[in-house]
């Protein structure tokens, strides 16, 4: 669910994509080749489903072919709090900023790979990331002012 929430603003949309993804996972278990981690295979499928949902909603040209996913180790309380703060900030970003930020910062893709996957230029990917970071910085500053 956390992967879906990183990409999709609406909890309902994230839940729909998650259910659809699990259906696809369970229906295609025979396609898992055993290469790499099972968690990585599932994560790749989840990310692709989120990106396909965004493409349908926002006319993006998205898909991910890479399988560089590593299963997360144990999550600490601090990690969970930081993650929840990140999700709150991501929810306030426009879909383009959020998608590029997720692919670059969280998934670890290069701007060249993002540009190819989204059908945009490398410079557009870079500028979307810069603008996403600026917007997130502004959001964090506002949160700090209100909580002080």
Q: Hey, where are the domains in the chain? A: 2-147
The 10s digit of each residue's pLDDT in 74-95 is 555 455 556 677 777 888 888 8
User: Given a cut of 70, is residue 64 above it in pLDDT?
Assistant: no
> Which position has the token pair 């600026």?
134
pLDDT digits (tens, 9 = 90+) for 93-148: 888 898 999 889 888 889 998 888 888 899 999 999 999 989 988 888 887 777 65
Indicate the burial class of 26 (C-beta count within 10 angstroms; 0-12, 13-18, 19 or more): exposed
Model pLDDT for residues 11-61, shown as the tens digit of each residue = 899 999 999 999 999 998 888 888 888 888 888 889 888 888 887 776 444
CATH class of 2-147: mainly alpha
For residue 1, the number of C-alpha atoms closer than 13 Å in the C-beta half-sphere is: 6
Cα(18)–Cα(49) distance, rounded to whole angstroms?
A: 8
Short-list 37, 28, 10, CA closest to 95: 10
Cβ–Cβ < 8 Å for 63, 117: yes
Q: Global pTM?
A: 0.60
């Amino acid at each position: 669910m956390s992967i879906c929430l990183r990409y999709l603003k609406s909890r309902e949309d994230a839940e729909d994509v998650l259910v659809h993804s699990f259906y696809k996972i369970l229906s295609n278990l025979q396609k898992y080749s055993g290469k790499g981690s099972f968690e990585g295979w599932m994560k790749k499928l989840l990310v692709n489903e989120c990106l396909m949902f965004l493409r349908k909603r926002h006319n993006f040209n998205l898909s991910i072919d890479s399988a560089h996913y590593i299963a997360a180790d144990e999550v600490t309380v601090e990690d969970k709090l930081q993650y929840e703060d990140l999700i709150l900030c991501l929810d306030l970003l426009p879909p383009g900023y959020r998608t590029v930020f997720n692919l670059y910062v969280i998934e670890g893709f290069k701007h060249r790979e993002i540009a190819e996957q989204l059908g945009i230029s490398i410079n557009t990917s870079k500028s979307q990331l810069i603008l996403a970071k600026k917007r997130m910085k502004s959001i964090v500053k506002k949160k700090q002012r209100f909580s002080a």
